[in-house]
Each structure stands twice: as C-alpha cells, then as structure tokens.
Structure 1
Amino acid sequence: MRLPSIRRWRKPRAERRYPAPLTLHELWMVSLSAPVSRDRNASRTTLYPFRRIDDDSARSWLAEQWEIGSRQVLVDRLDELSRSGYRARAQQVLGVAPLAWDAALYVDIARLGFGCGMITEAEAWTALKNIVPSVVRTYASWQEYADHYLLGRKVWQDGLGGGRDETFPAPQSAADAHLSALLDPANRASPWNLAPWDTISHPDRAR
C-alpha cells in the first residue's frame, strides 16, 4: 500500500490564507507582541499568530493559559489589560507601571482570538489600533519597550513564585535572550528592525 505523502499532512502556511503582506503600520502593531512570541512556530510578520494555519492551537492556548473560551471573555480580558492589567500590581510593588508587558499580552491575545475565530480580522485590527496611542505616549524606542516588558514580566513571574527558579517553564534567561535577538541590529528577521519604532509616527506604506 502506498503511504500518503508527509507533505499532504502539513498545515498550510499562514500566507496562503492571508496572502496580502502587512503594511509597515500593521507590522509595527503586530510586533508589539514579539516578546511573547518565542515559539519557533509563532509568526511575527502576520496578524495570524502562527507560521502555519493552526486554529486549534490558538483556541487551546487561550483556554489553557488564559481561561478564555468565548468571545465575551476574550473581549473582557482585552478591556482589562488595556485599562490596568498587571501594571497595576507593578505600580504597587515597584512604583512603576510597565505598560509594555500588558500591551504585548493584549496584542498576543487579540491575535490568538482572531486565529481561532472568536473575533474577526477587522475586529483584531481595531483592537490593536486601540492600544497604539498609549504605547506611543509611553515609549520612545523598542529598547524602552523591551526594558519595561521585562520589568512587567518579572513582577508577573514573582507573583507566581517562579522568580528564583530557572526551571520555571518560562525562565527569565529565555526572555532575555529572545529580546536581545529582537533588538540586535544585525538580525534581519527581527520585526523590530523591519518596522523601527518611529515607523508608526510616519505615514503608512507597503513593505
């Protein structure tokens, strides 16, 4: 019996379903979640969150990591992250409110919600656009954004009791290395190099 080709079983690339490349503004907005997207299957240049179409993984990730199983819960979670999020606790602990951590999670959740069909593509873009003004007012570079992301992440990790344990599922060293790669000017694949920080302050254009 002839076995089916392995290639037939591979999931299609995200670009096949969404062939239009992002504009520079769109890439910049998607790139707000780049610190969260460490997995090799994650896509950092499409609104869809994965390199290959995998709606079930998007749905599972929302359910397992965020206890989000419906559109309303997703919308409520996005609203909470945009208004206060984890930065409220950080303000109490450190006297600093790292918006970047909440913004990265906000964009990641919106992309996952789009990925599993809880919100439409248009609604996902609207959600991303809603977070842009506060991010632009707060930071002047991807470096500043990265620094505050790590600060917020530390507050979150300490709250889970994982701040001192390098065996924690997402150790600080992994986040540090990932952000260093994103900020490396020699990394031509980094979305932060493809869409520099001031991109969002200039007229949009095709890549």
Structure 2
Amino acid sequence: MGLWRWRRRGAKASRRYPVPLTMHQLWMVSLSAPVSRDRGVSRTTLYPFARIDGDGARRWLAEQWEITTREQLVGRLDGLSRSGYRARAYRLTGVAPLAWDAALYVDIARRGFACGLIDESDAWTALKNIVPRVVGTYGSWSEYADHYLLGRQVWRDGLRGGEDSSGLPASQSVADAHLQALLDPANRASPWNMAPWDAISHPDRTR
C-alpha cells in the first residue's frame, strides 16, 4: 500500500493533466515564474510541479502562509489582490510593486489547486481576476521583473529586521539571476519567451 501511494504521488503531472495550455493560460501561469526557482517545479502548466505532490503543496501553504482551508486560501488571494505587500513598499519607496503580489497570488492559487483546496476551474478564475490589473500596470516582462525584484527586496529587508533573521530566503542576487534567465531571449525554456507580454492582449490561441 505504501509503495503504491508513493508511486502515485510521484507520477508525472503531465499524465494527469495532458492538455497543453493556450497562449493566454501560459501567460497567466507565467506571472508566478519569478517565484518558481526550485528543482521540480513546472513553469508551463497550471499544476505547479513536474510530478504530483499534493502533500508538498499542502505543507507549504500551511507553513509559509498558514493556509489550511479553502476559506483561508480565498482570503489570502483577496488580500494580495487588494493591497498585499505593495502597501508597505509604497510607504518605504513611493512605488507600489504589484508584480511581487501578483507573482505570489498566482503561486498560491496554483498550489491551492495542487492540494485540492480549489478545483481547476476556480484556479483559472483566480488567475483571470488578476490579469486586468497587471496588464494595466506593466508593458513588458522586463517592467514586471523590475517591480517583482523591488517588492521582494522590501519584503526581505522586513524579514531581516525581525527578531530571528537566521532563516532568510535566497539573496537578492539569486533572485536577480533567475529573472535575468527568464528575460534572456536565447532561453528557449523561459515561459516569458514562449508567451510574450503582448500575447495576453491578442486573441487566445493554442500553442
């Protein structure tokens, strides 16, 4: 029984969700690409991992965001959509980096889908809800990346000022290198190259 369950959890996500994303769907998923640095993630599917790992998604949401129910997930998404961390960033810098909150928003929605707190339809609805604000704020993936890094820096500085800063996340230089790789036009694996910024403003199509 235990071995069978391990195999099921480790199955390739593409086998359970084989339909490729449309251009608009890939664009929406790609909003969370800056957050997705870990090995085993998927940046080109709604499911956030290359292999099925609902337990991992559930643990991460509980430990990082104190999300264990659908209601808590929806509430957190609503908070990120309305103000998020950009309110504090604006007080400190005069700039409200929506990209940081949008990336977290999409990442949380995808993980919520992965562990069953929301279904696939609800996940896509959540992603669609953030699109108009993002499109109205930025004109390129490069602009989006710049604001993501700004928001992350303010957030990380806030952690550094806490009582226990021993568990700080990756340095800003690591995040910057990841963003540069996503923006590199020669990087054929980058979802930002697969779904250019202006793709969301044109009729959707299959890939």
For the criterion TM > 0.5, the same-fold answer is yes
- Percent sequence identity over matched residues? 75
**Partner residue of 1:64?**
63
Measured after TM superposition, the shift of residue 166 of structure 1 is 11
1:197 partnered with 2:197: yes
CA deviations over 1:72-109 (Å, ceiling 9, x no partner): 01000000000000000011110100000000000000
After TM superposition, the structure 1 = structure 2 runs for residues 170-181 of structure 1, keeping only pairs within 5 Å, are 170-181=170-181
Cα contact 1:166–1:172 (8 A) shared by 2? no
* Aligned amino acid, residue 176 of structure 1: D
**Partner residue of 1:79?**
78
Q: Considering only aligned residues, what root-mean-square deviation do their CA atoms show, in Å? A: 1.9
After TM superposition, the structure 1 = structure 2 runs for residues 28-47 of structure 1, keeping only pairs within 5 Å, are 28-47=27-46
**Partner residue of 1:54?**
53
In 1, Cα distance between the equivalents of 2:7 and 2:115?
22
Give the alignment's TM-score, normalised by structure 1: 0.93
**Partner residue of 1:110?**
109
**Partner residue of 1:140?**
139
Say which SS state the counterpart of residue 128 (structure 1) adopts.
helix
Measured after TM superposition, the shift of residue 10 of structure 1 is 7.7
In 1, Cα distance between the equivalents of 2:166 and 2:205?
42
User: What residue ranges of structure 2 are gaps of 5+ in the alignment?
Assistant: none
CA deviations over 1:117-165 (Å, ceiling 9, x no partner): 0001000000000000000000000000000000000010011117xx9
Say which SS state the counterpart of residue 49 (structure 1) adopts.
coil
Give the alignment's TM-score, normalised by structure 2: 0.93
**Partner residue of 1:15?**
14
Measured after TM superposition, the shift of residue 167 of structure 1 is 8.2
Say which SS state the counterpart of residue 160 (structure 1) adopts.
helix
Cα contact 1:14–1:51 (8 A) shared by 2? yes
Measured after TM superposition, the shift of residue 8 of structure 1 is 5.5
Runs of 4+ aligned residues of structure 1 deviating over 2 Å after TM superposition are 7-10, 165-169
The total of aligned residue pairs comes to: 201
Measured after TM superposition, the shift of residue 40 of structure 1 is 1.4
In 1, Cα distance between the equivalents of 2:195 and 2:166?
32
In 2, Cα distance between the equivalents of 1:103 and 1:69?
21
* Aligned amino acid, residue 198 of structure 1: D
Say which SS state the counterpart of residue 80 (structure 2) adopts.
helix
**Partner residue of 1:91?**
90
In 1, Cα distance between the equivalents of 2:123 and 2:17?
14
In 2, Cα distance between the equivalents of 1:100 and 1:15?
28
Measured after TM superposition, the shift of residue 168 of structure 1 is 3.3
